[in-house]
Each structure stands twice: as structure tokens, then as C-alpha cells.
Amino acid sequence: MPSALPLGDPAPPDGLLPGQALEGAADRAFGLYVHIPFCAVRCGYCDFNTYTATELGGGASQDAYAGTAVAEVDFAGRVLRASGLPERRLSTVFFGGGTPTLLPAGDLARILAAAIDTWGLEPGAEVTTEANPDSVTPESLQVLADAGFTRVSFGMQSAVPHVLKVLDRTHTPSRVPQVVEWARDAGLAVSLDLIYGTPGESLEDWRYSLETALSYGPDHISAYALIVEDGTKLAAQIRRGEVPGIDDDDHAAKYELADELITAAGLGWYEVSNWARTPEQACRHNLAYWRGDDWWGIGPGAHSHVGGVRWWNVKHPTAYAARLGSHVSPAAGRETLDAETRNVERVMLEARLVTGLAIPSLGGLGDTGRHAVAGLIADGLVDPGEAFKGRLVLTLKGRLLADAVVRRILPD
């Protein structure tokens, strides 16, 4: 089942934002996330806020969803204007899920058109949709490209059939090169998402998946370690001993292999789990998250952030549609982050980037952060050359232990 929403303060029915959200807004980029909460089947490892047709229940419809999302786009535009936010065009738009391309391409184009009508797009804006390989056609991809989409991120996950089976993925490996070619023909940039550490996946299986993905010449690759979330089918299978558990050493070996092969293929890491062929082909939408820019999240369970104010929508599509139908905010709760919390989050996120952290900025955390740098260099976790230039940048070993590095930087 989908994971629970965080706790927070009540969100006002009108959605208006406090004055803190306005501070420095003109200097921050603004993006849009659109959550499409539908999947053909629920993958065994997934705890995202998604629903199959049998899980939706009454009062929610995939057919009506585009209209509901457009209603939130309109609501968001009014709220930002009424709250006094400066007019900003969208620098990035990202359709995620779920499986966005389970909706007709025309529905996705309709939602994007409403967003463009409301805010406009920056020149050269990045517009991405996630897609399963078996949820697109040449025609649907062309519709998306003609509507203004610039990029598609395919959930390849693995090239090995028995690994895909454990993950409950519905596509066959032979489908991936087809959809990559179709996306290229439509003029779309291509990213491939991979997962490593699936129970039963050998190191050679993972090598084969990496080499296969790289043979398609993607512009971008994401490689994520499988995390077993409580309440998922996979967690229950491991608990019952039906499949082996997760092994941290296995994850480390597979990450090192991924970095070796992806780098050799000409892509460079820019975030711990992400590599791009050029800096321009890094996912700018995700970079906006990691750098603390502003974004509005459309859809049930979607999260938003504007100037240190963070809120999240009600989870179920039925409740979400009902709120918007009543012309009230779909937000279930929100929180206003203080300066200390924002600084801690900045460290946690920016430390994962190839650009790293400015070491002088660690002074805002007290003496702990600055004093930790020498020990991190001695332990081979931080690049000494970059540290000499005033930046804390993780080495390969540091990327493997990124969370531990952050704990050493932050005060107790």
C-alpha cells in the first residue's frame, strides 16, 4: 500500500501562502510536478501513491483525471498571484507517477497546455514524462513532443527477465530499444532508470543490464539501489523467506560497477544516483529539488515547496477530486521550515551533488561541519583537491557512504 503522508499543520482551505514564501522568490526557479497516480499493475517493491483500476473504488476515474489536474493548475495560479508571488515562468515540468503514459497522450498534452497558459515556459525549459516501455507508441510519443515535451524517462529497471519478474515489471527487455528509437524519432531526449540489488540478481546480471542500457546510447541514466519498503509485496516475500534479503555489500559492489561502466561510456555523475552525457542533459527538474528551488505539485499525494513552505495533497484521487470540485485546496497539511531546518536540508541534498558544498557555508552549522572536513579527507570520503578550493565534493567511496558523510557534517 502507498506510504503515509507526513504529519504537519492544517493547510488553509484557500491555499494562501505566508509572507515567508515571498522572500527571495524572484531569484528562485519555479517548476511544476504533475503526479499521475495510475498504474496497470502494482510492482512488488513500490509504495508510491499509485492505484490500479481495481484499487480506485468509486468516485475516481482515469478518464476524468486530466480535467481534475487542470483544475488544480488553475487553482495554483490563483493562489500564487493572491499570495503576492512574483510572476515566474516554468523552468521545468515533470510528469511522474505512477505511469503518466497510462493516460492518453492527449490528456498529458492538455495538462501541459494549461500549465503553459497559466505560467508560460522559460526558453529552453525542460519538460519530462516518466513512462513504462510498454505504455507508449510511436504515435503517442510524437503527440507528446508536438505538445512541448522535451524528454522521456523510461523505467527500464533491468535487462534480465528473471529480475524483471521479481520486480513485477510488465515489459519485456526487447521492448526498450524499440521505445528508445521511437523517442529519438520524435525528437525527445532519453533517460533510462535502472534498479540494482533485486533479490536473486547476480553481479553479472547487473553488468548485463548496464551494458545493455548503455548500448542504446541514452542521454541520462539513473541507477537506484532497491529499497524494501514496509507494507510492500516484496517486503512480505522477504519476511516469509521466499526471496533473499537485501545485502549492503552487494549494493556497494553494484554501485561501483555502475559508476565504472557508465563513466567509461562517456556519462558523468552529477548526483549520487544520476549520470548525464553532458551537464546540460542532467535532469534540471530534480536539480531544482536538490537546490531548494520552488515547485508546485499537482495531483493526489503530490508535495509542493515555495520559499521554505512545504505542503502535500490528500492521497486518494476521490478525495482530491472532491476538494477541487468544491473549490478548496487539496492540501492535507503543510509546514513552514525555519532557517536551521532549511540549512540542514540544504547540506543533506547538496552534499550529494558533484558541485558539492561550499565549505565556508558549513559555518552556519557551528564548528562541527568545518572540523569534520579534515577527517573526511583522511578517510578518503571527500576529494582533497576540491576541499583545497573550498568545496566539499564526495569521492566514489564518499558516494557509497553519503548518508554517513552528512551525519558527520551535521551537529548532533
Rounded to an integer, what distance in angstroms lies between the CA atom of residue 188 and that of residue 180? 9
Q: Say whether both 90 and 164 belong to one domain.
A: yes
Rounded to an integer, what distance in angstroms lies between the CA atom of residue 305 and that of residue 33? 11
Which of 357, 324, 343, 352 lies closest to 411, judged by CA?
A: 343
Q: Say whether both 75 and 186 belong to one domain.
A: yes
Q: Say whether both 265 and 388 belong to one domain.
A: no
pLDDT at 255: 98
Identity at 387, one-letter amino acid code:
A
**Within a domain: 329:** no
pLDDT at 150: 98
Domain extent at residue 395: 340-412
**Within a domain: 119:** yes
pTM of the model: 0.94
Rounded to an integer, what distance in angstroms lies between the CA atom of residue 174 and that of residue 159? 8
**Within a domain: 368:** yes
pLDDT at 54: 62
Q: Say whether both 386 and 238 belong to one domain.
A: no
Last residue of one domain, picked from the residues 264, 290, 316: 290
**What would the pLDDT profile of 239-297 be if each residue is shown by its tens digit?**
888 878 888 899 999 999 999 999 999 999 999 999 999 999 999 999 999 999 999 99
Number of domains in the chain: 2
384 is written with which cell numbers? 582533497
pLDDT at 365: 57
**Within a domain: 217:** yes
**What would the pLDDT profile of 143-166 be if each residue is shown by its tens digit?**
999 999 999 999 999 999 999 999
**Within a domain: 346:** yes
What CATH number corresponds to the domain at position 228?
3.20.20.70
**Within a domain: 397:** yes
Q: Say whether both 249 and 114 belong to one domain.
A: yes
Q: Say whether both 114 and 183 belong to one domain.
A: yes
**Within a domain: 172:** yes
Q: Say whether both 99 and 200 belong to one domain.
A: yes
**What would the pLDDT profile of 348-394 be if each residue is shown by its tens digit?**
999 999 999 999 888 765 566 777 899 999 999 999 999 999 999 99
Rounded to an integer, what distance in angstroms lies between the CA atom of residue 128 and that of residue 115? 14
Name the CA dihedral angle for 342, 347, 350, 356, rounded to a multiple of 10 degrees.
Answer: 140
